[in-house]
Amino acid sequence: MGSDSVRGMGRRRLLGWGGLAAVGVTAGGTQPVGARPAPAGRRGIPRDTRPGGAYDRYVAKLAAEDRFSGVVLLSHRGRTVLSRSYGMADEEKNIRNHDGVAFNLSSAGKPFGAVAVLQLAQRGRLRLSDTVGVHLKGFPEEIADKVTIHHLLSGTSGLNTPEEDPQRVFRSKEEVREFHEEWARQAKPVAPPGTPTDHAGAEVAIPALIVEAVTGMTYWDYVEEHIFRRCGMTGTAFYTRPQWLTDPHIAHAYMRQADGSRVDAVRNLDKGSPDPLQPGKNPARGFIDLPGDGGFATAPDLVRFAHALADGTVLDRPYAELLTAPKIPLAPQGGGLRAARSSPADAAFATYMMPVSLIDGQWLNGRAGVDPGSVASWNIYPDSGWVGVVLGNHDDIPFQEIIEREMSAVLGTT
């Protein structure tokens, strides 16, 4: 598991604020959390979002140039407007990508952990004001008595976690679980609680440990039972490396090497990323994603999750709104649109693992993840009822530009 970085696009960095791409076939008519009637002049289906429109043509051109492999989806008020799949899920077995293929989420899976905590809060099993020490023993006093669950979920804990060993190869769930707990307990205060710390590793790891302590279940089992199954996300799970190697419905991750070739990261554990910022890192080294992070999902399943936030399936409405509500002001990023616009977003805020921006008078909740060989983004546009997903299994694609084009098409800014 990596951490989001303010120094550049690291292994699991949130890209701008455009990373919550979810699109596909879901319950008809259900709108995302906080959906309101679209502003005058913004109702209906923008031309650029339709089949044959600007966004469709752009992604098709990338695929034809070998610059995109994966799935894009656009859904409006529960109905699929655009669904496209390109490239190979497994080149060796000649399996093509399609909307039933699950992709590595990386940091785009972090919101599931926040939902798990809020489920326990609404059931009275914990309070967001609880300090770490209420539920976990063995942490130093400056963490146990001063850092709250709210601090952790909002990215304001003031904690830092040491870098992982990029060469470590895990062999079992138990080994991953033991390493995760030990790693979480190495967190150190680097600033007072309440200081923005960009969702450092501890802010993902410790809430997952709290979920396990409160429920008596592993984080993976809890999320699969109480979130994925409840939402009908049948193609989504915390798959293990052996499953990744054998299941034809999981996209392999193809890393671009320094010599220009691509390598299948799942079949070549000895190959690492050529990126000097993340030397040796290979997503397949983990037997299963560390609790609180990652997982694999199909594009339609991410749409199902987005709509389950709105209809009370996974959270009562007040808690669903709490998940996505602005918490801490951030420097405006323009939702990834700054390069194409004369002005940035009106405002940007940290939330509980799902950053939100105000762009052209509309809210946008987004989450993205990057691993060597894979990218994932899902965006929720609650004011107009759109959900957008980008899932890819090549790491040399113009990821942020694709997200920008999606936003431009949905918001009508092209």
Q: What value does the mean pLDDT of the chain take?
A: 85
- Domains of the chain, by residue range, sit at 54-411
Superfamily of domain 54-411: DD-peptidase/beta-lactamase superfamily (3.40.710.10)
pLDDT for position 243: 97
For residue 375, list its beta bridge partners: 370, 392
Rounded Cα distance between 12 and 199, Å, is 11
As a whole number, mean pLDDT of residues 371-396 equals 96
**Antiparallel, parallel or unpaired: β 254-256 and 188-189:** unpaired
Give the pLDDT band (50/70/90) at residue 200: confident
User: For 54-111, what is each residue's pLDDT tens digit?
Assistant: 999 999 999 999 999 999 999 999 999 999 999 999 999 999 999 999 999 999 999 9
Give the pLDDT band (50/70/90) at residue 378: very high
Tell me: pLDDT of 298 over 70: yes
Rounded Cα distance between 202 and 158, Å, is 10
Token pair for residue 411?
């918001």
Token pair for residue 289?
């994603």
pLDDT for position 43: 57
Rounded Cα distance between 291 and 379, Å, is 23
Give the pLDDT band (50/70/90) at residue 341: very low
End-to-end CA distance of the chain: 36
Rounded Cα distance between 267 and 21, Å, is 27
Rounded Cα distance between 296 and 279, Å, is 23
- Mean pLDDT check: name the lowest of 197-201, 252-256, 335-339: 335-339
The residue with tokens 């939100």 is: 356
Rounded Cα distance between 151 and 198, Å, is 11
By CB atoms closer than 10 A (0-12, 13-18, 19+), residue 408 is buried
| Residue with the larger pLDDT of the pair 43 and 143 | 143
| Residue with the larger pLDDT of the pair 174 and 283 | 174
Residue 337 near residue 407, CB atoms below 8 Å: yes
Q: Say which DSSP state 251 is in.
A: P
Tell me: pLDDT of 12 over 50: no
User: For 18-52, what is each residue's pLDDT tens digit?
Assistant: 333 332 222 233 445 555 544 434 458 999 999 99
281-314 b/e (C-beta count within 10 Å ≥ 16 → b): bbbbbbbbbbbbbbbbbbbbbbbbbbbbbbbebb
pLDDT for position 220: 98
State the pTM of this model.
Answer: 0.87
pLDDT for position 166: 66
Rounded Cα distance between 396 and 371, Å, is 11
| DSSP conformation letters of 71-117 | EEEEEETTEEEEEEEESEEETTTTEEP-TT-BEE-GGGGHHHHHHHH
The residue with tokens 């991410």 is: 302
Residue 87 near residue 69, CB atoms below 8 Å: yes
Rounded Cα distance between 405 and 414, Å, is 8
Tell me: pLDDT of 7 over 60: no
pLDDT for position 197: 81
As a whole number, mean pLDDT of residues 293-319 equals 96
